[in-house]
Structure 1
């Protein structure tokens, strides 16, 4: 699976390595090109996953705000709901195409 913003591939991994949470594919950290991501100061805390880290994506000379997010230190109780540890896995907004 690949996460692409236009012709830029932001992440790529086998589907078996991804985690599906609430309709979003979460990519393992090692599959993400963090050189394209800039941490955002947008605050958000999910009631069951914990504190979220948003990222903006650099696409050429543009920075697209808050198109990716991760939970660096999710609540441990959430691992039971998800089925495994997803710490640091990165998901993308609908503006980023995630497909085979």
Structure 2
């Protein structure tokens, strides 16, 4: 079981993650929806496509743009569609 934790709370847990470039992509259904806030940030990857972001809010603290996902990944990254990865202080173990 892989777990993502931030600010002392488990924000995602799944035994069905996909690892791409060292990052665990969790099914969106495995992420606590109460901690996700849509972000306006986007970024591009030549082979995965355009990433969108969520900020995390736990116990009144915000971690801006700490989760990302590819709403419409390129064909070479189709396995991460519907999945979310974390960074910026989120512990994944």
TM-score (norm 2): 0.90
Q: What residue number does 1:49 align with?
A: 48
3-state SS in 2 of match to 1:35:
helix
User: For 2:61 and 2:26, how far apart are their aligned partners in 1?
Assistant: 23
Give the paired residue count.
92
Give the TM-score taking structure 1 as reference length: 0.85
Find runs of 4+ consecutive structure 1 residues off by over 4 angstroms. Answer: none
- Offset from partner CA, 1:22-75 (integer Å, 9 cap, x none): 111110111111220111111211111011111100021121101110111101
Cα RMSD between the aligned structures?
A: 1.2
Q: Which runs of 5+ in 2 are unaligned?
A: none
Task: Structure 1 unaligned segments of length 5 or more: list them.
Answer: 80-84
